[in-house]
Amino acid sequence: MKPFISLLAVVLLVGCATSVEIKTVQIDQNTKAVEQAYALCKGSVDSTLAAIRLSESFVLGKNKSTNYLEKIADESYATDEQLADIHDYHADLTICRDKAVDGLQEVNADYAVLASEYFTEDDKITADVVEKKLTRGEANRKVQELEYYFSLKR
């Protein structure tokens, strides 16, 4: 009888581990689905005329690596035209971000908090550019530092 009880205990423990593993896999899959939806949304925003114009001076979107060194060394402030583009770009991007955070809150609350913190810090950089507290190069460098910092936390 003891061997049977021992075998039953092992089977039950394996079953518990499997359900935890299944839940972890589901969380990972659902998180990836939200990330993919965000990437598609952001890709659409990065294809707008405002984003394309901004990507000539700022490290963002599809042209992120184009003229990278020039972009991070640029010590001029955003022009009035760029400020208008920043407003349009940010308004569209906020929709994508809100959907992503909402989706993550349903599937991975810890990651939702991290994403929200990232977006908040990025918004602060954007506000400083609009208020002409940061040059384009300073903003580009700060965004790169922010991305690196949060990649370590992920």
pLDDT in tens, 52-75: 999 999 998 777 888 999 999 999
Confidence band (pLDDT; 50, 70, 90) for 8? very low
Pairwise CA distance, residues 17 & 19, whole Å: 6
- Assess if residue 126 is contained within a domain: yes
- Assess if residue 98 is contained within a domain: yes
- Assess if residue 102 is contained within a domain: yes
What counts of helices (H) and strands (E) characterise the chain? 6, 0
- Assess if residue 83 is contained within a domain: yes
How many domains are there within the chain? Answer: 1
Residue range of the domain that includes 37:
27-153
- Rounded to an integer, the average pLDDT of 119-140 is 98
- Assess if residue 15 is contained within a domain: no
- Assess if residue 1 is contained within a domain: no
- Assess if residue 147 is contained within a domain: yes
Question: 135 with 118: CB under 8 angstroms?
Answer: no
Tokens of 46: 């990065």
